[in-house]
Amino acid sequence: MDVSHILNSLNDAQRQAVTADSGNLLVLAGAGSGKTRVLVHRIAWLIQMEGIAPAGILAVTFTNKSASEMRGRIETLLGHPIGGMWVGTFHGLAHRLLRAHWQEAGLSEKFQILDSDDQLRLIKRLLQTLELDEGKWPAKQCQWFINQQKDEGLRSTHLEHYGDDYNRTMLTLYQAYEQACDRTGMVDFGELLLRAHELWLKNPGLLDYYQHRFTEILVDEFQDTNAIQYAWLRVLAGKRGHITVVGDDDQSIYGWRGARIENIQQFTQDFAPATLIKLEQNYRSTSTILKAANKLISNNAGRLGKELWTDGTEGEPISVYGAFNEQDEARFIVDQIEQWVRKGRRRDDCVILYRSNAQSRELEEAMLRVGMPYRIYGGFRFYERLEIRNAMAYLRLVANRDDDAAFERVINLPVRGIGNATLENLRTIAREQRVSVWQAAQRAVAHGMLGARAAQNVGGFMNLINQLEEYSAEHELHLVMDYIIKQSGLIQHHEKEGGEKANSRLENLEELVNAAKAYTMEANGNNGEPTNAERLAGFIDKAALDAGDAQADAHEDAVQMMTLHSAKGLEFPLVFIAGVEEGLFPHKMSGDSLEGLEEERRLCYVGITRAMEKLYLCHAESRRLHGEENFSRPSRFIREIPAELRQEVRMKGQVSRATSWQGGIAAQAMGAPDSNNGLRLGQRVRHPSFGEGVVLSCEGNGNNARIQINFDAVGGKWLVAAYARLEAL
């Protein structure tokens, strides 16, 4: 059989990995060395040369998008479709298993996915029920606690409080949370994985079936698996399965969510005998970019140690742009992209990466101003939009009346004269009788437990939902969606809001009808002819799981935007990293501990190594984030890149705060410091008694000029420049 097309475009080490004897294999290698490529080719090889049926293969990818890309590439290599193969994320695969085996998993048939927003709401309600003060027990922190336990595979029954007050409270909350989820048929993201693991442990027959079925397991981005994912793989592989994992310890960036780098180290023991193959040639980046990445990451201790080289061209230096503020930064980036496009290049080839989702708004606005199409991945996803969540809540209630989160979300949306007191009433009944709020409402109405008006309004709402369900039994999903939006009064509700916002919300609702239509077609294609109810349930899950990318049309050539975290595994000719500042990147939340700082550095390594041809690092002297103006220094990560690899850039005609300060008022006030150590806004200084701080602003001239400084220890102070005895740092 001619397999040259599978092996042709591989180097020796890659070929060795692709053709390695069926067994356990670890490919450990740096960014851009072809790990994902090896996985794709190995799957094609297994099917074509080892005669493995596609249905015998399970492949785990990092995002849904990479799953469909992987499938596409394998099909291209083989020249035919590979229907039965399972490819997906850990969450997606777990979900698929649980849907198929809900009974064995101890779930209700109609279980639904609780996304993190709903989860937070539920926790807030539970805190109230338990009479815990949210000031003392912040809901987010509680959410964090619960998720962390689940990522470690721990249920409340596994935990002990050891008499500690904090632990005791968290444990009580965790128990209440588990009960609430069970009662309402809700499954959060962590629960998907936990249940899927328990599914193996509790059902040996089922496990045996899947162990026989999936004889080849392949995992991309293995460095970011957490404890429960690792355990799930281990059980599935058992003694029979062969497992291939590829990863890079330097790109482990989900430690904060329980990912464990040690899994890589442990692999060769747990899955012995395992072959270890290292790839050392980078095919992605210019040598300048690669050198910068290598140098940066060498500042981390305890690495597994890999070499990475390229025979690619040197390429351009890395451009560092010091912006005046975040608007200037955004303008600069848009400007560079416009120049790129003028040279005949594609917008698709450009990505803007940022540390925090909140940074995207300014960038979006800058692009909107010049009419540049863009697409945001992750972040504010389509299905996370308020109006979409509202409409979906109706659909969820149609599918499952016991979905308390959905009930609470829309019972009085649009306004139906059902006040908080009535709702509180219903909650109490639900709590006392251990039923869902819907059932509580049914009982309350039937037994006259509500006032006449409240009973009428609640009854009206319930009739509406019942009526929607009747309609849904007879009609196609997108018609149901359309019907819901109209009958529920959501359209009028949003119309009343008025303005641009309302328009965009209404458009999104229309888009939801389209999405439902597209889903129906997809579902019909995949699984024969699902029933209306199955389609409806499937669509609800998709909405909860999917990262439905909105913004630019799918086919439009658009600039890509995403957080550094979601850029893993991707590559782009032109990369901008925005906000490379101390406090933002490394993030102040993580930068305090050595561990946290090293994870931030790995994240920066991931960012840099996305770039193929050209990389820009941008930082701003001042930035408004979460409503507060911050002044900061360029990130240490910039300094960690050797100076000869980078180049400072200025925009033409730009008046920077730095320049005007040095050249004008300030120069006089400071007794004309030379331009190298003159003070600038945002600069760090040291004062003999107040210690270190940041220059915030300057007023006046000459000897009377006053400077405002925010000192780390004592806060903001105005000082007379002439006497301040400030030392520039």
Site map (CB under 6 A) of ligand ATP, residues 354-373, x = contact: --------------------
Structure tokens at 410: 């829309």
Residue 598 within binding range of ligand ATP, rule CB under 6 A = no
Q: Alpha-carbon distance 608 to 293, whole Å? A: 6
Site map (CB under 6 A) of ligand ATP, residues 35-54, x = contact: xxx-----------------
Nearer to Mg ion, 36 or 632 (CB): 36
Residues 157-189 as b/e (b if ≥16 CB within 10 A, e otherwise) read eeeeeeeeeeeebbbebbbbbbebbebbbbbbb
- Contact at 8 Å (CB) between 59 and 236? no
> What distances in angstroms separate CA 101 from CA 83, 95, 106, 298, 544, one per listed residue?
21, 10, 9, 47, 19
Residues 6+ apart with CB under 8 A from 17: 25, 27, 38, 42, 277, 279
User: Catalytic: 188?
Assistant: no
Structure tokens at 248: 């890079």
User: Catalytic: 164?
Assistant: no
Nearest 5 degrees, angle CA 436-CA 442-CA 445?
A: 135
Residue 115 within binding range of ligand ATP, rule CB under 6 A = no
Nearer to ligand ATP, 9 or 504 (CB): 9
Q: Alpha-carbon distance 436 to 310, whole Å? A: 60
Residue 36 within binding range of Mg ion, rule CB under 5 A = yes
Among 6, 13, 14, 508, binds ligand ATP (CB under 6 A): 14
DSSP β-ladder status, 57-60 and 684-687: unpaired
Residue 283 within binding range of ligand ATP, rule CB under 6 A = yes
Least distance between ligand ATP and beta carbon 350 (Å): 16
Least distance between ligand ATP and beta carbon 98 (Å): 28
Site map (CB under 6 A) of ligand ATP, residues 212-251, x = contact: ------------------------------------x--x
Nearer to Mg ion, 403 or 571 (CB): 571
Residue 322 within binding range of Mg ion, rule CB under 5 A = no
Among 41, 125, 150, 284, binds ligand ATP (CB under 6 A): 284
Least distance between Mg ion and beta carbon 224 (Å): 11
Q: Alpha-carbon distance 469 to 464, whole Å? A: 9
User: Catalytic: 251?
Assistant: yes
Residue 533 within binding range of ligand ATP, rule CB under 6 A = no
* CA-wise closest residue to 325 among 620, 24, 632: 620
Nearer to ligand ATP, 282 or 325 (CB): 282
Given the residues 151, 188, 216, 221, select the one marked as catalytic: 221
Residues 6+ apart with CB under 8 A from 701: 665, 668, 669
Among 34, 255, 312, 322, binds ligand ATP (CB under 6 A): 34
Amino acid making up residue 595 = E
Stretch that binds ligand ATP, among 8-16, 142-150, 172-180, 533-541 (CB under 6 A): 8-16
DSSP per-residue letters across 600-668: HHHHHHHHHTTEEEEEEEEEEEEEEETTEEEE-PBPHHHHTS-GGGEEEE--TT---HHHHHHHSHHHH
Residue 309 within binding range of ligand ATP, rule CB under 6 A = no
User: Catalytic: 220?
Assistant: yes
Nearer to Mg ion, 224 or 599 (CB): 224
Among 241, 315, 379, 569, binds Mg ion (CB under 5 A): 569
Residue 14 within binding range of Mg ion, rule CB under 5 A = no
Nearer to ligand ATP, 88 or 569 (CB): 569
The beta-strand segments (E) located in 6-74 are: 24-29, 57-60
Given the residues 14, 35, 195, 223, select the one marked as catalytic: 35
Residues 367-385 as b/e (b if ≥16 CB within 10 A, e otherwise) read beeeebebbbbbbebbbbb
Among 28, 31, 85, 264, binds ligand ATP (CB under 6 A): 31
Q: Alpha-carbon distance 518 to 510, whole Å? A: 13
Nearer to ligand ATP, 9 or 266 (CB): 9
Given the residues 36, 184, 563, 683, select the one marked as catalytic: 36
Nearer to ligand ATP, 31 or 114 (CB): 31
| Binding residue count for ligand ATP, defined by CB under 6 A | 19
DSSP per-residue letters across 115-157: -HHHHHHHHHHHHHHTT--TTTS-HHHHHHHHHHHHHTT--GG
The residues carrying an active-site annotation are 35-36, 220-221, 251, 610
- The residues that touch ligand ATP, with contacts defined as CB under 6 A, are 9-11, 14, 29, 31-37, 248, 251, 283-284, 569, 571, 609
Residues that bind Mg ion (CB under 5 A): 35-36, 569
